[in-house]
Amino acid sequence: MTASFTRTIRQAGLVLAFAVSFSALSTQSFAFSAEAQQMCTGDAFRLCSSEIPNIPKITACMVKNRANLSTGCRAVMDHDLAQKSSKVASN
């Protein structure tokens, strides 16, 4: 296998792992929306790549790095977290 092919396979695997991580539930039972997956994938790779595919660690890293998130990612994460908080409060 060539180095280019290996790199491509590795990147595809990381993207898949990240997508699965964001779509699954974290230890806090927080499921990221499809919009958050789309808006935050680049940020997760940029800020939290060392945590992939550990879902709780990715979540914690993204929250910790909130100030460094892109505007779109921060907006959807805030929206998703607010929805989660309101569901917990109403139960």
Give per-residue pLDDT as tens, 20-70. Answer: 555 443 434 445 677 778 888 899 999 999 988 888 888 889 889 999 999
Of the candidates 37, 49, 46, 38, the one whose C-alpha atom is nearest the C-alpha of residue 69 is 46
Q: How far, in Å, CA of 62 to CA of 48, rounded? A: 7
Q: Could you tell me which residue, 91 or 83, shows the higher pLDDT?
A: 83
Q: What is the pLDDT of residue 70?
A: 95
Q: What is the pLDDT of residue 30?
A: 47
Mean pLDDT of 66-83: 87
Q: Could you tell me which residue, 83 or 53, shows the higher pLDDT?
A: 53
Contact predicate 81/30, CB 8 Å = yes
Sorted by where each begins, the domain ranges of the chain are 3-90
Give per-residue pLDDT as tens, 44-53. Answer: 999 999 988 8
* Residue 12 confidence (pLDDT) above 70: no
- pTM for the predicted model, two decimal places: 0.57
Contact predicate 49/19, CB 8 Å = no
